[in-house]
A and B are shown apart, each in its own frame.
Chain A
Amino acid sequence: MARYLARRLGQAVLVVFGVVALTFVIMRLLPGDPAIAYAGPKASAADLAAARARFGLDAPIPVQLWNYVRDLAAGDLGTSLHTRQPVADDLTLAFPASLELVGAALIFAVAVGLPLGVLAARYKTRFPDFTVRLSSMLAVSVPVFWLALAVRTLFSSVLGWFPVAGEYDAALDSTSPLHVYTNITAVDALFTGNWPMLGSTLHHLVLPALVVAAYPAGVIAQLTRAALIEESAQDHARMARALGFGETAVLTRFSLRPVLNPVLSLIALVFAYSIVNGFLVEAVFNWPGLGRYAADSIRTLDTPAIAGVTLLVALLYVLANLIVDLLQGVVDPRARTR
């Protein structure tokens, strides 16, 4: 296991270096001049030269790359042209909110998708299977912005069960102010015992998390069903039946664990994808997350912010895949030898 861990960590470090270099190239390929975006379209030549000098854009490319890597190592992602704040500070605020939303959504997606996949495989071609396949197909194919609007209209505007927008009730900032440690509101509220804030955050989280969870839940259910049906036709599952185990036990105790690896890989991909692609959900529910920040950065051609988001998301992919690799080594001992 130690060698497996070291190999995976080594690969991750190499990928991170590649990602940093690629992010630098992407910054140079983006259309528009960051100096103009910063100094304004009516800036004088002297102002533009000053802006270029400020961002190091007047140095040769290798020097710029070296400066970029050096600043990154010091945690400096540059200054946002749009918010005029350090990008690292902006991300520190936006990313935890997305992490909270996507984390909750994935917990829900796994908690629902996995059992539904098992249920469908257990009753293959029968009514439960048909129902699961139909509902998971709907969850995967419904456009997320439509689902977000429909859910918000029904459960917030019509029924009034959940708040319309925001991360928590703004009035709590004065009545129950939150001590911030992680910037993940639910976690900070939980660990500081701020129950009104925790309740409000969870209440606000339900609808956007359900909407973000719809796609991964549907995919997890379909993948689990298909993989379980295939696995339960293998010789080892037949052997389990020959030992006297019933069909449910064959699926859950013998076949489920070997099929968890593709499900884990899927979760890693969906996680990183949802972090930045949840911006439509964040927009509908006014959730202060990374998706909204990324969308604003692209709209304003905010090069440092775009590069910062790109780097963060790429690192998330690397980190999520590393965690999944390690989990796969725990779940399936054969993975450690690969």
Chain B
Amino acid sequence: MIEIRDLEVRIGDRVIAAVPHLDVGPGQCVAIVGESGSGKTTTLLAILGLLDEAATVTGSIEAFGVRSPSTLRGSKIALVMQSPQGALTPTMRLGTLLRRALALHGVRGRAAADRTRQALRDVLLEDEILRRYPHQVSGGQAQRFALALALALGAEVILADEPTSALDVTVQAEVVAVLRRLHEERGLAVLLVSHDLALVSSIADHVVVMKDGQVVESGPAAEMFAHPAAGYTRELIAATPELPDA
């Protein structure tokens, strides 16, 4: 579904992300892990062509056979951002945002209403939330609404950028449960950016470890958590108390 080859993102002379090889297949969950500034979010935003104008992107990013995946924004590829309420337009009711997004992709009238109702049900939200503004919902509700947007638009891949890091522990569990269910039951592919290795180990099929803009290790999740090859990966795992030391 998504194939990245020899991706390099530069700002001026500085390489802020270099990913030689990354694939996300149908129904697969791939996680990019690493500390802040390692290039995880940059890689994610490069896929949708959402990097700042100052960034120079070389290499190849292909999604659903299209060489310019930014044309698939919303329709095939959806984004869930780190700041739950901050990612929603502050002066717009959630229902208006959803209706406008659906209309943009040609879904109107009864079809839009049906999709909206189904998507909200899938993420365990009530219809009433559509009348609220972002500041009137909780962080967990806002994050689940972002997932509902992706579902309503019919996205097949969700790019999730630290989707739980701005939430408290109980709300994190709610959002993770919804994300896992959509991945496992609905077969949605997920490219997850996180520094939460406990979350990654519980949901990811494949893991890419990044440090200082470079990929230091990449492989199946179970194998990597059991036998990390790179010293940096071992440090990350050792720093996560919920995981057994490698």
Contact = CB atoms under 8 A, between A and B. Distances in A.
A7 interface: no
A254 B89 contact: yes
Interface residues of A, number: 20
Given A242-B50, A253-B100, A236 B90 contact: yes
A234 B100 CA distance: 19
Contacts of A245: 100-101, 104
B201 interface: no
B124 interface: no
Give chain A's interface secondary structure class. Answer: helix
A242 B73 contact: yes
Contact of B73 (A235, A241, A258, A337): A241
A239 B79 contact: yes
A145 B74 CA distance: 54
A48 B91 CA distance: 63
A305 B55 CA distance: 62
A236 B82 CA distance: 11
Contacts of A10: none
Contact of A238 (B50, B90, B135): B50
A255 to B, nearest CB: 8
A254 B135 CA distance: 16
User: Counting chain B CB atoms within 10 Å of each CB, which of A236, A238, A242 scores highest?
Assistant: A242
A332 B91 CA distance: 5
B48 A242 contact: yes
Contacts of B135: 333-334, 337
Contacts, number: 69
B241 to A, nearest CB: 30
Interface in B79-94: 79, 81-83, 86-92
Given A239-B89, A242-B79, A245-B101, 19 more contacts: A235-B81, A236-B86, A238-B50, A239-B81, A239-B87, A241-B48, A242-B78, A243-B73, A244-B73, A244-B74, A244-B101, A245-B100, A245-B104, A253-B100, A257-B91, A331-B91, A333-B135, A334-B133, A337-B135
Interface of A: 234-236, 238-245, 253-254, 257-258, 331-334, 337
20 contacts: A235-B82, A236-B134, A238-B87, A239-B79, A241-B48, A241-B50, A241-B73, A243-B73, A243-B74, A243-B101, A243-B153, A244-B74, A245-B100, A245-B104, A254-B89, A258-B89, A332-B90, A333-B90, A334-B90, A334-B133
